[in-house]
Structure formats: C-alpha cells, structure tokens
C-alpha cells in the first residue's frame, strides 16, 4: 500500500466537530497550499440554487479567480463542476489547453497573473458538493505524486464537507471503508428511495443512525442492503 | 499462424468461438468509435469474456489514486460477490497481478489456501470455483487494474485463452483511456478518478432501483443497463438521474431485459 500524500494525511487529521463549512473549507485550502506546489486555493460549494458560492479563498488572487469565472460564466472551475472531472491546466498561455474558454484564460493571466490552475470536483457518486480550485503563478503541471495527493485530498475534503468523517486520524477507516464499500453506496440509494430525500441527506441519515447506535457505517449499510433495517419518515 | 492440419482439427468450440469473437470485436469497436460510457464498455467486455473464455464469472478492477483496487465491472452485481471481489483486491491473485504488472494464474484454488487464506475460504464458501486467473490492464509497462477470470473447474488457462484474455484486458485499458480525447499525458489519473466515481453513482442507483422495485442488486443493475441501452443513453447518466431525480419509475416500468446473451450467474 503506497503512503498517503501529505495533503491527504493533513486532511484526515481535521475533525468536523462544530465547525461550519467556511472554517472547514479554510482548513482544507490551507493544507493544500502547504502540501502542494501551488500558491493559493479556494473552495466553492453548490447552493440550493443551481449555482455555486465561494466559501473560502486563501488570498485575494484566489478570490479574483473565482469572481472572474462567475462574471464571465466560463472557466476551468465551472468546467470541472459541469463535466464532473478534474480540469488540470498547466499553462493558461497555451491555446491548446484553454481552447474551451479563451476569454477566461486571457483574463486569468492578465488580471490575476496566474499561469497554472487545477480545478477538482468535490463529488461522492451522484452527490455534487462543489469544486476545489488550486492555482500557481508559475506555469507547469503538478507532479504525478502531487496529482494523486490532490485527487485523494479532494475525496477526503468531500467527506469532511459532507460531515462524514467522525474519526480523525483513522487512515485505515478512510482507505478501506469508503470508496471500496459498494454496500454504503447501495444503502444510500435505498434510503433515497425509502425516504424520498437527496443522496446527501440519505448518507447523513445513515451516518446519524450509525452514530446514535455506536456502530460502523458499513455495518449499518450492510443491514439496510440485507433489508434488516429500513428507515421510516420522521423517525 | 496455425498450419493446415491444425485448422482442420479446429474443434467445434473454436468455430463457435470464432463467431463470438467476431461479434465481440465488432461490438466493442463499434462502441469505442462513438461517444460511450466507460462502465458500460467494461460491463460489455466482462460479458464477452465470460462467453469467449468459458468462465463462470469475470470482474474488472481499477486502481484509485491511492493504488487501492476497486471493482468497476462484474458479471455478478450481487453485493456479496462484489464484496468478495474487493477481498480479492486486498488479499489475492488480483493484487499480486496488479503489483507485478503480470498475469497471476491460480490453476488449482485448493492448493492456494495457505497463500491467500481469507480469499480462498470466501470463494470456496460459494462453491463451484476451481481456478482464478488475473490479467493486468497494462499501460506503458505499468498496471492500472486487473481483469479476473473465475473458472468452475481447476486447470491451467490454455495459451490461446491467455492471449485472448490479455487482448480483452488491453481493450479495457483503451476503453478507459479513450473515453475522452486524451489531451495530455497526465490525464490518466483524471480518467481513473472519473471512472471510479461513475461506479459509485451506479451503486447508488442500484440501491434506489432495488428498494423501489423490491429487486436484488443484480436484477436492479440489469434493469438499469437494459433501460440505458434500449434508450441509447449513457449508463452513468441514467444512474445519476435515478439518484438525483426520479427516473426510477420509468426504468422499472420499461419491459424487463430479455435474457442476455452472456451467461450470468
């Protein structure tokens, strides 16, 4: 098993506690700036409206980058949100990399003095949480190791923002119980159908039940899939 | 190339297989030149592998950004079987194949219990499995995942099957990489991440369908796949709409899939 990257490890040490989204986003962005070869970071979250809101930007440049694409209506971050794929732009001056949004790319270089931008969607299956934007003034890709660390960090950040990490520092719980657990995803879908709620809310209900019963989420999910446990409205 | 005598001696199995091979090759090529869904291609590929290689069950696993192998396609979509595949990825020939970037053949599972006690015990609990063969999904000297063949009877994988299996594994690699036009060399981890997230969406959608229709997870996947294919829609997109909005009723009221050509346990 390869070592977890520095940023992913730092994120796993963040406890949700009573922090709000803004404080959590701040901790996530700071861990990225410290651990990756970048100058700044920002997180925007999906709101109830079909739009996003920047909840944290590590500096004025990161904030300007967010403002630019919201006002232009295009950009790497919007692309990442819509395509639900990481959008990694090593050089904003390279037309081959910016063909989809030339106006935005020109503005990023001229107004913000930024050359490299990496936009990572924060998603968990069909649950879209937001986008993590990382920028650097100098052009160039992230190394393969840092790309892996950043992708893992985006997953960890998603779980933190979904309020799903209750055991900070437990790297084992992260690496074995989540992405690998088909049952957790299946149980999420079953609770969506049982209660007529969103997948994010269904996951929260599963998590709350596990917490109240002092059980592991995956054991609760197992009972749901085996139809030994069924969630009822207003219980 | 086979010489004339060997051609004459070609068994009936081979003649039948040639027809199947044409169907699989044309079908996959046809899919890969169009806009396609990577999970759907891997699912088709797993189905063809069962038919072409005469195996009981096939599973395809991809490595995530942490190099942990995760199930992306399986000819058996039941929860317990997928858990077994995952166990296979933690302790079993699958992970050895991935690390070595080379095939790992377990011709007789009965002799492999000492090496992989949990995996072999879990497999034997399910009865009729005699051998397992894991083939790497190769890319530039590295493995990005594995194609796993589960046979009912013990025995070595014939050389022709080994070559064909590796060819199918290589098509899987191409399918994953080509899903979107490759713009840069570093695109690989992005592609893998997207494919793995697609699989999570499909698991969530299976749950919704299974609950609404009171179906097993395997039957729920069959409904999902049949609906996507018969409406010419992307599997992942249909799954997303099932989880996000309410396409479930449409999927459940659409006529059930006819018995698929691929044998499914």
* DSSP string covering A103-167: HHHHHIIIII---EEEEEEEEETTEEEEEEEEEESS--PPPHHHHHHHHHHHHHHHHHHTT---S
Residue B73 lies in domain:
14-181
The pLDDT assigned to B34 comes to 76
Digit-coded pLDDT (tens) for A127-165: 988 999 999 999 999 988 898 889 888 988 888 888 765
Question: Domain with B21 in it: what CATH number?
Answer: 3.30.450.40
Please tell me the distance from the alpha carbon of residue B58 to that of residue B52, in angstroms, as a whole number.
11
What's the length of chain A?
235
Compare B16 and B119 and report the one with higher pLDDT: B119
- Beta strands across the sheet bearing A52-57: A52-57, A40-46, A127-136, A116-124, A87-89
Is the C-alpha dihedral spanning B228, B232, B234, B237 positive or negative?
negative
3-state secondary structure of A214: coil
Q: What percent of chain B has pLDDT over 70?
A: 85
Q: Which residues of A touch B189 (CB under 8 A)?
A: 86, 144, 147-148, 151
| pLDDT at residue B89 tops 80 | no
Answer yes or no: do B66 and A1 touch at CB < 8 A.
yes
Please tell me the distance from the alpha carbon of residue B72 to that of residue B60, in angstroms, as a whole number.
6
B177 and B135 together in one domain: yes
B151 and B212 together in one domain: no
What are phi and psi for residue A44, nearest 5 degrees?
-115, 140
**ipTM of this complex:** 0.86
Q: Is B213 on the interface with A (CB under 8 A)?
A: no
Q: Is B211 on the interface with A (CB under 8 A)?
A: yes
Digit-coded pLDDT (tens) for B102-116: 999 999 988 998 999
| pLDDT at residue B228 tops 50 | yes
Residue whose tokens read 């050509």: B261
pLDDT band, residue A3 (cuts 50/70/90): low
B208 and B164 together in one domain: no
B45 and B173 together in one domain: yes
Please tell me the distance from the alpha carbon of residue A84 to that of residue B210, in angstroms, as a whole number.
26
Q: Is B184 on the interface with A (CB under 8 A)?
A: yes
The alpha carbon of residue B106 is apart from the nearest alpha carbon of chain A, in Å, by 23
Compare B157 and B190 and report the one with higher pLDDT: B157
Q: Which residues of B touch A194 (CB under 8 A)?
A: 211
B25 and B101 together in one domain: yes
pLDDT band, residue B231 (cuts 50/70/90): very high
Q: Is B68 on the interface with A (CB under 8 A)?
A: yes
Query: Whole-model pTM?
Result: 0.79
The pLDDT assigned to B186 comes to 47
Please tell me the distance from the alpha carbon of residue B84 to that of residue B87, in angstroms, as a whole number.
5
Residue that finishes a domain, picked among B181, B207, B225: B181
Domains and CATH numbers, chain A: 6-168 (3.30.450.40), 181-225 (1.10.10)
| pLDDT at residue A49 tops 80 | no
In a domain, B5, yes or no: no
Q: Is B215 on the interface with A (CB under 8 A)?
A: no
| pLDDT at residue B63 tops 80 | yes
The pLDDT assigned to B261 comes to 46
Q: Which residues of B touch A171 (CB under 8 A)?
A: none
Q: Is B216 on the interface with A (CB under 8 A)?
A: no
Mean pLDDT of chain B: 84
| Closest alpha carbon within chain A to B245 | A198
Q: Mean pLDDT throughout A29-41? A: 94
Lowest mean pLDDT among A19-33, B177-191, B216-230: B177-191
The pLDDT assigned to A179 comes to 53
The pLDDT assigned to B184 comes to 45
């Amino acid at each position: 098993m390869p070592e977890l990257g520095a940023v992913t490890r730092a994120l796993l040490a963040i406890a949700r506690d009573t922090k709000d989204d803004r404080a959590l986003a701040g901790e996530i962005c700071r861990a990225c700036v410290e651990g990756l070869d970048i100058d700044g970071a920002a997180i925007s979250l999906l709101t109830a409206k079909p739009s996003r809101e920047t909840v944290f930007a590590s500096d004025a440049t990161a904030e300007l980058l967010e403002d630019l694409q919201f006002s232009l209506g295009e950009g790497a971050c919007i692309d990442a949100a819509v395509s639900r794929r990481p959008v990694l732009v090593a050089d904003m001056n390279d037309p081959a990399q910016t063909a989809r949004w030339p106006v935005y790319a020109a503005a990023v270089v001229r107004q913000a003095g930024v050359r490299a931008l990496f936009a990572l969607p924060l998603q968990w299956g069909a649950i879209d949480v937001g986008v993590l934007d990382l920028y650097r003034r100098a052009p160039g890709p992230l190394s393969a190791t840092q790309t892996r660390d950043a992708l893992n960090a985006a997953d960890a950040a998603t779980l933190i923002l979904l309020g799903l990490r209750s055991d900070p520092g437990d790297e084992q719980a992260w690496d074995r119980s989540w992405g690998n657990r088909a049952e957790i995803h299946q149980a999420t879908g079953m609770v969506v159908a049982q209660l007529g709620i969103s997948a994010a809310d269904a996951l929260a209900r599963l998590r709350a039940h596990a917490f109240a019963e002092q059980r592991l989420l995956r054991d609760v999910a197992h009972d749901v899939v085996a139809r030994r446990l069924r969630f009822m409205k207003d219980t | 190339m086979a010489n004339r005598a060997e051609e004459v001696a070609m068994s009936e199995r081979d003649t039948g297989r040639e027809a199947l091979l044409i169907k699989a090759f044309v079908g996959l090529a046809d899919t890969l030149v169009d806009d396609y869904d990577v999970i759907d291609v891997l699912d088709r590929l797993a189905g063809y592998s069962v038919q072409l290689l005469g195996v009981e069950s096939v599973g395809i696993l991809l490595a995530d950004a942490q190099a942990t192998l995760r199930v992306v396609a399986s000819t058996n979509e039941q929860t317990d079987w997928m858990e077994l595949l995952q166990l296979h990825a933690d302790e079993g020939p699958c992970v050895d194949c991935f690390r070595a970037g080379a095939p790992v053949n377990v011709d007789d599972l009965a002799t492999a219990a000492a090496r992989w006690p949990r995996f072999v015990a879990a497999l034997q609990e399910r009865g009729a499995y005699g051998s397992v063969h894991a083939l790497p999904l190769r890319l530039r000297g590295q493995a990005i995942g594995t194609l796993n063949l589960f046979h009912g009877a013990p025995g070595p994988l014939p050389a022709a099957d080994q070559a064909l299996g590796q060819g199918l594994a290589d098509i899987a690699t191409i399918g994953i990489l080509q899903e979107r036009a490759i713009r840069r060399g570093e695109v690989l981890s992005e592609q893998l991440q997207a494919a793995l997230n697609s699989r999570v969406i499909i698991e969530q959608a299976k749950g919704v369908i299974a609950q609404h229709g009171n179906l097993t997870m395997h039957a729920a996947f069959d409904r999902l796949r049949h609906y996507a294919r018969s409406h010419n829609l992307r599997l992942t997109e249909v799954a997303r709409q099932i989880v996000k909005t309410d396409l479930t009723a449409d999927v459940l009221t659409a006529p059930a899939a006819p018995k698929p050509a691929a044998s499914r346990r």
